[in-house]
Amino acid sequence: MSEWLIEPVSKTGVPFAGTAGSNPALSVFCFGLCFVSRFNTKSLKLIMRIALGQFNAVVGDLAGNAEKMREIYAEAVRSDVDLLVFPEMAVCGYPPEDLLHKKHFLKDCSSALEKLAADCPDKTIIVGFAENYRDNNYNSAAVLQGGRISKIYRKAQLPNYGVFDERRYFLPGEKPMVINIGGLNVAVTICADIWEAEWLVNFLKSKRQIQIILNISASPFHVGKIKKRQEVVSQCAKEFNSAVAYCNLVGGQDELIFDGRSMFADSTGKIRAKAKAFDEDLLIADIITTNNGTIEVEPLQAAAIQPANRADEIYQALVLGTRDYTGKNGFKRVLLGLSGGIDSSVAAAIAVAALGAENVVGLTMPSKFNSPETIGDAMKLAENMGIDFLTIPIEPILKQFDKALKTVRGWKGEGIAYENLQARIRGSILMSLSNQFGSLVLTTGNKSETAVGYATLYGDTAGGFAVIKDVPKTMVYKLAQHINKIAKRQIIPADVITRPPSAELKPDQKDSDSLPDYDLLDKILKGYVEEDKSAQQLIKSGLSRDDVMRVIRMVDCNEYKRRQSPPGVKITPKAFGKDRRLPITNRYISS
């Protein structure tokens, strides 16, 4: 399809006087340049309809992703858009990591793209893909027009920090790309390109007036990040006096969540439309030039409901992450241990929201150290959620282990080794049932205990997916309350929320025997883990030296446990995992 030129309306033969934007059926008339009576019958306006195809691309599923894009294309055709946009790496999913080292993968990626172009000839499409060009790899955006790939833009800003490793895979592109669609100049950018405002101004300076900055992204979620993302989009709009069309990926990929919330900003920087959070959506808007030089945005749909607050945002992220990890890895059902404590209760409620009560099985595995109250709460929780509930007491197994281990001189039958053994018996039972029935085991450790290693390796860390591994304990409580609030009833029993936390591995055990109070612990962890503060800085901020040094030591010593723990949803700015790569062998102690 050739690019459109700005031409007087008379040449199009369509003396348009409809209501562009408000009615998809009519908007067919408003293609290219037209007279829009409802704004000002005397003004010359350009209108372009853009659809942002925010969809859940699966890493490596080239055929599946293409099929989904074809479906969205059909919908976009029905809505008569001028331009359909898909996220960064939509063809292959993001991040494909070392799949990008396989030449055949890149070739297959390219074939899938060509086929997509051929299948979708009637609209201009911009879609992200992994490109191999002259033996180098690029993170690219293809323009599909008339059944073929007409142009390619290569991402210039390659993030290589946090969870990103783009310099491992890609060379940076060096040329900007501005295409003219329906008389409007559209600058195509990819993700980080618009996060470097100063650089972008310079990068695009050779280009004439741009009406639309288009950005395709795969921007990973953490709580509150949408605010920063909106600022970036808004700032970019103001900087260029352009509309911004921002198309983000949605879905869970291993530890990452892409939260969608694609958006349009007008040239004053106002966010005029925002797609759904944590779900697929097709966000359509008309971009309209005005006489006064501003670019307006007219959304076609009612505004999508957005997360109500932080707890809601985290909750939705966890639900999506759990659903996608389970489903994309071929599991239907999950299995988890229910202790009657708050962590497993919250994890279970998230699993039910993600997969349906019929696909969640709870298991209580009491020893002599578990109180009737916690066992009762686990049962009550299962009842409240309507999930299958099994009980397998571990006492006889524990005794048999103890008997066998007593043959080794020095085995105590109490203390940490004995406590951990209980957790490992539970892990083995869960994994046995997982192997027998094909269910995925969810682990239930939170970020606070993961940080300080308050967990038994191959015990409570045994499982395929760690639902709340990046949720600090203090936030776990808020999630519990949120879960009850949105259910409008007590899913998680009140006792579970108010009872002092305990691992119940020895008589009268409390978490507070081994750890500072969680309020304090989470404060230290935020500073040390997420903000890389030194002991000195934390102590200066008013925390006690003893607490700070004790927590830092625990965090540092337990890197090996985290390295062997299952993946789980990242919700904070810095999660354990690809975000924070500390050596296990490490003698550095912050002073």
Instruction: Provide the minimum distance between the beta carbon of 261 and its own copies in the complex, in angstroms, as a whole number.
Output: 22
CA–CA gap between residue 136 and residue 172 (Å, rounded): 10
Active site residue 478: no
Q: Going by C-beta distance under 8 Å and a sequence separation of 6 or more, which residues neighbour residue 86?
A: 53, 55, 69, 72, 125, 126, 127, 128, 216, 247
Q: Going by C-beta distance under 8 Å and a sequence separation of 6 or more, which residues neighbour residue 309?
A: none
Amino acid, single-letter form, for residue 187: A
Stretch touching its own copies by CB under 8 A, among 27-35, 291-299, 312-320, 556-564: 556-564
Stretch touching its own copies by CB under 8 A, among 141-149, 271-279, 281-289, 458-466: 458-466
Residue 134 vs 409, nearer CB to its own copies: 409
Number of residues engaging its own copies in binding (CB under 8 A) = 90
DSSP 49-83: EEEEEE--PPTT-HHHHHHHHHHHHHHHHHTT-SE
Question: Cα(first)–Cα(last) distance of the chain, in Å?
Answer: 64
Stretch touching its own copies by CB under 8 A, among 34-42, 235-243, 302-310, 390-398: 390-398
Instruction: Provide the minimum distance between the beta carbon of 508 and its own copies in the complex, in angstroms, as a whole number.
Output: 21
- Helix or strand or coil: residue 259? strand
CA–CA gap between residue 333 and residue 165 (Å, rounded): 33
Residue 38 vs 412, nearer CB to its own copies: 412
CA–CA gap between residue 294 and residue 310 (Å, rounded): 34
> Pick the catalytic residue: 30, 191, 236, 247?
191
Instruction: Report 305-334 residues binding its own copies (CB under 8 A).
Output: 324-325, 328-329
Binding mask 107-126 for its own copies (x = CB under 8 A): -x------------------
Instruction: Provide the minimum distance between the beta carbon of 58 and its own copies in the complex, in angstroms, as a whole number.
Output: 5
- With tokens 């936390």, the residue in question is 501
Stretch touching its own copies by CB under 8 A, among 25-33, 80-88, 368-376, 531-539: 531-539
Residue 295 vs 462, nearer CB to its own copies: 462
- Helix or strand or coil: residue 93? coil
Binding of residue 584 to its own copies (CB under 8 A): yes
Active site residue 191: yes
Strands 271-274 and 263-265: antiparallel
Residue 292 vs 407, nearer CB to its own copies: 407
DSSP E strands, 291-339: 295-299, 334-337
Instruction: Provide the minimum distance between the beta carbon of 455 and its own copies in the complex, in angstroms, as a whole number.
Output: 13
Amino acid, single-letter form, for residue 304: A
Residue 270 vs 399, nearer CB to its own copies: 399
Instruction: Report 415-444 residues binding its own copies (CB under 8 A).
Output: 415-418, 420-421, 424-425, 427-429, 431-433, 435-437
Residue 240 vs 465, nearer CB to its own copies: 465
Which of 11, 38, 78, 101 binds its own copies (CB under 8 A)? It is 101
Residue 24 vs 172, nearer CB to its own copies: 172
Residue 298 vs 419, nearer CB to its own copies: 419
Two tokens, residue 32: 């290219």
Task: Quickly count: other Cβ atoms within 10 Å of residue 354's Cβ.
Answer: 23
Binding of residue 99 to its own copies (CB under 8 A): yes
Instruction: Report 152-171 residues binding its own copies (CB under 8 A).
Output: 160-161, 165, 167-168
What's the half-sphere exposure (Cβ side, CA atoms, 13 Å) at 171?
10
Phi then psi dihedrals of residue 404, to 5 deg: -65, -40
Which of 176, 340, 341, 464 binds its own copies (CB under 8 A)? It is 464
Instruction: Report 252-271 residues binding its own copies (CB under 8 A).
Output: 252-254
Q: Are 100 and 106 in contact (CB under 8 A)?
A: yes
Residue 401 vs 518, nearer CB to its own copies: 401
Instruction: Provide the minimum distance between the beta carbon of 564 and its own copies in the complex, in angstroms, as a whole number.
Output: 5
Instruction: Provide the minimum distance between the beta carbon of 398 and its own copies in the complex, in angstroms, as a whole number.
Output: 9
Instruction: Report 395-414 residues binding its own copies (CB under 8 A).
Output: 396-397, 399-401, 403-405, 407-408, 410-412
Stretch touching its own copies by CB under 8 A, among 17-25, 103-111, 196-204, 228-236: 103-111
Instruction: Provide the minimum distance between the beta carbon of 178 and its own copies in the complex, in angstroms, as a whole number.
Output: 29
What's the half-sphere exposure (Cβ side, CA atoms, 13 Å) at 301?
17
CB neighbour class for 172 (10 Å; exposed up to 12, middle 13-18, buried from 19):
middle
Residue 221 CA: distances (Å) to CA of 257, 327, 367: 5, 20, 39
Q: Going by C-beta distance under 8 Å and a sequence separation of 6 or more, which residues neighbour residue 189?
A: 153, 155, 200, 213, 214, 215, 216
> Pick the catalytic residue: 34, 68, 88, 526?
88
DSSP E strands, 453-552: 465-466
Which of 62, 83, 177, 188 binds its own copies (CB under 8 A)? It is 62
Stretch touching its own copies by CB under 8 A, among 99-107, 346-354, 374-382, 479-487: 99-107
Active site residue 373: no
> Pick the catalytic residue: 123, 155, 328, 578?
155
Instruction: Provide the minimum distance between the beta carbon of 143 and its own copies in the complex, in angstroms, as a whole number.
Output: 25
Residue 468 vs 552, nearer CB to its own copies: 552
Instruction: Provide the minimum distance between the beta carbon of 209 and its own copies in the complex, in angstroms, as a whole number.
Output: 35
Binding of residue 567 to its own copies (CB under 8 A): yes
CA–CA gap between residue 319 and residue 569 (Å, rounded): 9
Q: Going by C-beta distance under 8 Å and a sequence separation of 6 or more, which residues neighbour residue 472?
A: 446, 447, 448, 518, 522, 525, 526, 572
Would you please indicate which residues are annotated as catalytic (active-site) residues? 88, 155, 191
